[in-house]
Structure 1
Amino acid sequence: MIRLFKLIATLEGISAIALFFIAMPLKYIWDNPVLIRPVGMAHGVLFTIYIAFAIMLKTEHKWDWKKFIIICLASIPPFGTFYIEYKYFRNTAAS
């Protein structure tokens, strides 16, 4: 389950970067909103899945509340999920 969470975290991070650094500049700088809906939808779905998996893993692995809150909050800024993967899951066996 950790391996799947790491994949979701990576995809969520990529979708956040695509939304903030590609789709939003296209809309607000070049007045071209074509990517906002698909990229925003993908990011929203991946964000929801990321949080759901964090909740499941908190229960399964008995994370303390501090770790859980940090992992959840890291999904908000771009690159946050990459930091979490590195800090908490780099040495985790694929299970």
Structure 2
Amino acid sequence: MDIKTASALHRLRLISLPEALSFPALIIFGSVLSRVSDIDFLMMPLGALHGILFTIYVVFLLDVWNKAKWPLKRVALFFFLAVIPFGGLYGEKLLKRYEADGVIAARARAEGTVNV
């Protein structure tokens, strides 16, 4: 894995956790509390924050797709995981594994033990 691909994957991993947590926060604190109490002021900032994080996540996902040459099924899986509540937590776990596998493969290529 080259440095551009590794950094794109790392950026996606860094944004995946805040994006994954912003969606349930929007649902729990924004929607539920605004219906059961007079707390309406949380809906607008939480919605904006989640929208910004989701947009950044999608841009970074497309960047990884371009640089890492992922199959469309994998990209669709990560997009789907970002849309369901707490799915991004599983996506972050997968990204961590892909990132570690890429580092191991890059080190093996650098040492000349594997021709990939």
Aligned AA (2:43): I
Tell me the SS of whatever aligns to 1:59: helix
Q: Tell me the TM-score normalized by structure 2.
A: 0.74
Cα separation, 1, equivalents of 2:95 and 2:53: 19
User: Which residue is equivalent to 1:13?
Assistant: 20
Distance 2:51 2:95 in 1: 23
Structure 2: gaps of 5 or more residues: 1-7, 104-116
The Cα shift of 1:29 comes to 1.6
- Paired residue type of 2:16: A
Are 1:62 and 2:66 matched, yes or no? Answer: no
Give the drift of 1:3.
1.9
Give, in angstroms, the shift of residue 74 of structure 1. 1.1
The answer to whether structure 1 residue 48 and structure 2 residue 52 are counterparts is no
Picking from 72, 79, 82, the partner of 1:72 is 79
Q: How many residues align?
A: 94
Over aligned residues, Cα RMSD in angstroms?
A: 1.6
**Normalization by structure 1: what TM-score?**
0.89
Largest Rg, 1 or 2: 2
- Which one of 20, 26, 38 corresponds to residue 31 of structure 1? 38
Deviant stretches of 4+, over 4 Å: none
Q: Is there any run of 5+ residues in structure 1 with no aligned partner, and where? A: none
How far residue 59 of structure 1 moved from its aligned partner, in angstroms, is 0.8
Preserved CA contact (<8 Å) 2:13 2:96: no
Which structure has the highest helix share of the two? 2
The amino acid across from 1:48 in the alignment is T
